[in-house]
Structure formats: C-alpha cells, structure tokens
Amino acid sequence: MKKRFLAASLVLILLFSMNLLPPSTAFKEGKITLFYRTVSVYAPAVARTSHGLVGVTSTITVTVQNGTGCSGKVFVETLPLTQIDMQGSARLAVTVAGTLTGIDISNYDFFFVIQTSSPIIGGPSAGAVMTIATIAALEGWQLDNKTMMTGMIDPDGSIGPVGGIPEKIEAAYSVGATRFLFPKGQGVMYKTVTETRNIDGIIQITQKRVPINISEYAMNNFGIEAVEVADINEALLYFTGHTFETQVSNETITTSNYTTSMEPLASHLINDANSSYNNAKSLFENTKTNIPNSFPFYYRNQINDMLNDAHTALNKAKESYEKKLFYSSTSSAFQSLINSRFVQYASDYFNTDNRENYLDTLFNTVETFVSTQSEKAKNARINGMTSLQCVGAAQKRAFDAEDYLKNAHQDYQKRDYLNALYKLAFAFERSKSVGWWLNMSTTFEDLGQVNNTVLDDVAHRYLDLAIQANTYSSIILQEMGESSTLLSGVDDLIEDAGNEIDEYPASSLFVSLEALAKANLALELVDGAKQDKLDKTKESAAAAISESRSLGIEPILAVSYFEFAQTLENSSITDAIVYYRYAQMIAGALHF
C-alpha cells in the first residue's frame, strides 16, 4: 500500500481549489497528530421550482484526514437536505478512490460537506465527482477548474446514468465551466415539449418527445465542450491529466480453475436430473389413470406438461454442457430436477388413499430438510472473497427455499394443492443446492479478509446504494414520462436484501448488487437495448473479471453470470446486458 502524509489546507471555493500547508504545520495536541487536505468542487444538480426543473450548482467540500485515531470513517453533511441521502454515494466514492489509488483507506477519515442554494433532486448523480475529488485529495493532484461533471458512481468505477443533463449544463455555464463530462451512452436525451395551439377558438395542447444531442446542445447554446466518459479513469484524465493503469482482458473468462470446479458439478446434476426424470416418467405412466382430468382443472394434463418441461430442461442442460457452459448447464438441470420432483409428488398425491396425511408427511419432510440446510448456510464460515461468493450463493438458495416453503403453506391453506406441491418441490431442490455452493470454495485460494463486522458494514452499504439508485431512477423516469420493466422487480430485490441482511448477510450483499445493476440500467436502456450497448457491457464485465484475477481473487459468481449472459444474447439483448452488468458489479465489489 502507498504511504501518504496529508498536510493541512485552507479552502478557497473556486470551481476547484486545493491549497496545501507543509507537514510541519500539522495540528498536535498531546500525542494526537493529524494531517489533512481539503478539496472543494462545484457539482451540477437539478432543483424543482414552481417553473419546473432548473439547473443549480452545489459546492462539495471533501476533507481527507490522516493520523491518530483515523479508521476509514465517512461523514456527510448536506445543507439543505437533499431528496436522497448522499451518505451511500460518499462511502462508495471513498471505496472506489481507495481501490484505484491503492491507498489503504482504513488509515484515513473522510468528511463531505454538500452545500446548495435550494433543495436538489438526487444525490447519486454527484457520486462520480465526489470520487474525483476524493482521489485528488488522496493523491495531491490539481484539478482543472473549468471542468464539471455529472454521473453516479458504480462499485467497479464505472459512471452510471443520470437525468437532467441539459439543465446541469446550463448550471455549469453559470459558474464558468468550459468542459462538461457526462455518462457514456447518454449522448442523446429526450425532452418532453408541450405545444399549445388555438384552432378556431379551440385550445389544443399536445406533448411530444424531442431528441437532444447533448454535445451539440452544449456547444451551440453555451460554448461548452460536452464529453461522454465511461469510468472514473477517463474522467481523471480530463480533470488532472493523470490516469491509473487499467487491466485489459485478453484472457479466457472460464479458466481451468473455474472449469475444474463447475464441470464435475454440472455432470453430477445432469446424471441426477436424468435419473429423476426417468423415475418421474415411470411413476406418472403407472398412476395417471388415477389423476383427474376434467373441467376446469385438467390435473393430468398439467402434470404431463411439467414432465415434458423437465425433459426439455434436461436436454438443454446436456447441450450447455457440451458447449462447456457449465453454470448454464447446472441451471437447466436444476429446473429439470424441480419439475421431475413435482411430477413425483403430484403422482403420489393422487395415488394415495389418504391425501391429507400424505401432505402432512411431505410438509414435515421438506421442512426438516430445508431447516437443516438453512442452518448450514447461516453458520458457514467466510474467510475471504471466494468463500464470500460461495456462501452468498448458498445463503441465497437457503432464503429462496424458506420463502417457497412459506408460500407452499399459504397455497395449502387456500386448498391449492398442486401449486403447494410445486413449491415444496422447489424448496427441496433449492435446499439441495446449498451444499453444492458451500463445497465450491474449497477448489479456489481464498484470498482477502472478511469478518462478520466487515460483511455487515458492506451489506448495509450496498443495500443503501440500491435503495438510492432505485429511488433516483424512479424519479428521473417519472420526470421523463418514461417507465422501465427493469424497475418492476427492483423493489422485490431490495425487500429480499433487507429481509436477508441479518441471517444471510452474504446473500443480501449480492442481491443488493443485482438491484443496483437493474436500477441503473433502467435509465441507461430507456431508449432500448442495442447491440453496441451489449458489446460494451460485455467488454466491461470481462475487464472487471480480469482485474479481480490480477488481485488474486477468483470472481466465481461473476464468471458464472457472465457465462449465463452469453446464453441469452440471441434470445434477449436486455437480459444479456443485465447479467453482464451484474457480473461486472460483482467483480468490482470484491475489492473491499
């Protein structure tokens, strides 16, 4: 790690300012010694007024303190309060700054003071410039005082989408900026324009969406150079003339270590699914005459359809295995196992003389198994970054199993026995998969140090970020008159992450990352998912995976979702982008 001594400074609030005093002027009181540096920046924002949205500027003052008693604490004060808490953005800015600089941030404390003339919308949109200011304070770099920036910050250092870019450019112009940086992919935005016409005494009001080329808008109206930037490293070049060396991915994503771990599991599950399917098929054929098949339920047809689905999923698992897509193979085999188990449960149910007793016994059996596996997941030891991922995956499956078991009870109470049987089958198979993931980490070197305190802090941090991103995207989409199907499931993910955080903190962390990825993409893909976006997202995910490996961390979950995204490219570009971004998020988040 780099060793830094930070000198005290006086703040001159210009567009950017940084004045340093020599270390000899460090403050001392008794045995306490503190060195610090302060940087102030202007950040563009959007405020809601009686006349609509307008651009305003906020002053963000970042103080980095090093010395006695410093331990990585982050303090935030906003004047006045913003619509969204900025604590999460500040904490993530510090984390990303520490990762890029290689400085151990646990030896420093960080203070952020955000001041604005009026209450602003958001907070996450200042995350990128907060990161730039933090890096400048840590490194002692001068910042270009004619450059301003907007953009969220993501765990991997990429810059996330924002709203109100035209208004923010106007705000930048008001304080003398000549260059404006904004998130890559937002070069064209749409503004809703209201037109009022008087046609023979009848007032006609229409609204239409008008495209705005951001670069042309900035130059033609304000003489400002507007530049798209993909990540903090690109932005640093414009602000400071410095960049950090980045990892270029020239390696195969699925390495021999990954294959050694996943291939035997995929092979085992295919054999298991094949045996389960054959047993289910035989049982169904021998008992189907006892299964009712009349209006309005046609139970026999429903069960037969499930048997066919089990066979289809089994074949898909075999195809993926042949293509060496082992995670995708295990996913398909898992679905086949669920369907086959359901067919067995349903066939037994309709073939028994005492169906109520059968259900009671089955519920008890599944509950006992789910409880046993859940305890294993809760008590699993996490030592480093590999076991964090594997335990996280195991805990997620334990939580899902408990949830399906609870829903099975609800279906039983409603006398919806067939759905109850399916959910019992899902809960049982999901619980079986807990053991797969707990055993997975033994094949990799488990680097890094993760204890319960650190995990609890990180899990809460990313849950807060997911909540912020979801709220921010919802606000901006509403202002744009748009909607996104990606946001429809984010609320559920956030709810799950919150429910998991006490007993399943590792799972909560990764669920929050998924929610964060989808919330950001809801804005990025507002005008549709295109091939160039898919290609860029895939490249970014590959680079993030390569970066983790360069640090000695095997991002097994990220690789699994990267592989899964590959299988989705031909069927759904949007889904493929989601899982590539999720893979990127996971790999980028493993650097704490």
Final residue before a domain boundary, out of 443, 465, 498: 443
Residues for the chain: how many in total? 592
Give this prediction's pTM.
0.76
380 close to 391: Cβ distance less than 8 angstroms: yes
46 close to 54: Cβ distance less than 8 angstroms: yes
Strands, E assignment, 214-309: 225-229
The answer, yes or no, to whether residue 263 has pLDDT greater than 80, is: yes
The answer, yes or no, to whether residue 4 has pLDDT greater than 50, is: no
Range of the domain at 302: 256-443
Q: Which class for 443: exposed (0-12), middle (13-18), buried (19 or more C-beta within 10 A)? A: middle
Residue 205 domain-assigned (yes or no): no
152 close to 127: Cβ distance less than 8 angstroms: yes
Residue 7 has a CB neighbour count (10 Å cut-off) of 17
- Give the mean pLDDT of 437-450: 83
What are the tens digits of pLDDT across the range 400-442? 999 999 999 999 999 999 999 999 999 999 999 999 999 887 7
Same domain, 316 and 457: no
Confidence of residue 87 (pLDDT cuts 50, 70, 90): confident
The CATH code of the domain that includes 25 is: 3.30.230.10
Overall number of domains in the chain: 3
556 close to 389: Cβ distance less than 8 angstroms: yes
248 close to 543: Cβ distance less than 8 angstroms: yes
SS3 68: coil
pLDDT value for 465: 85
134 close to 62: Cβ distance less than 8 angstroms: yes
Same domain, 457 and 421: no
pLDDT value for 8: 35
Residues 6 or more apart whose CB falls under 8 angstroms from that of 285 comprise none
Residue of 276, 251, 294 lying closest to 333 (CA atoms): 276
Same domain, 300 and 437: yes
Same domain, 531 and 416: no
Residue 194 domain-assigned (yes or no): no
- Give the mean pLDDT of 306-329: 96
Same domain, 420 and 515: no
Residue 288 domain-assigned (yes or no): yes
What are the tens digits of pLDDT across the range 114-151? 988 776 655 578 899 999 999 999 999 999 989 999 99
Q: Which helix (H) or strand (E) holds 402?
A: helix 385-413
DSSP structure class, residue 580 = H
Same domain, 183 and 82: yes
- Give the mean pLDDT of 490-494: 96
What pairing do the DSSP bridges indicate for beta strands 52-67 and 108-116? antiparallel
Give the integer Cα–Cα distance in Å for 564 and 489.
Answer: 19
Q: What is the token pair recorded at 551?
A: 């640090």
The answer, yes or no, to whether residue 246 has pLDDT greater than 80, is: no
Final residue before a domain boundary, out of 408, 424, 443: 443
Residue 3 domain-assigned (yes or no): no
Give the integer Cα–Cα distance in Å for 148 and 189.
Answer: 19
Same domain, 144 and 71: yes
Final residue before a domain boundary, out of 443, 462, 494: 443
Give the integer Cα–Cα distance in Å for 67 and 7.
Answer: 10
Same domain, 54 and 113: yes
Same domain, 41 and 137: yes
SS3 519: helix
Give the integer Cα–Cα distance in Å for 545 and 589.
Answer: 11
Residue of 294, 289, 308, 151 lying closest to 214 (CA atoms): 151
pLDDT value for 25: 39
Residues 6 or more apart whose CB falls under 8 angstroms from that of 454 comprise 592
132 close to 143: Cβ distance less than 8 angstroms: yes
Q: Which class for 506: exposed (0-12), middle (13-18), buried (19 or more C-beta within 10 A)? A: buried
pLDDT value for 579: 97
Residue of 476, 566, 562 lying closest to 521 (CA atoms): 476
Q: Which class for 185: exposed (0-12), middle (13-18), buried (19 or more C-beta within 10 A)? A: buried
pLDDT value for 356: 95
pLDDT value for 509: 98
pLDDT value for 61: 94
pLDDT value for 324: 92
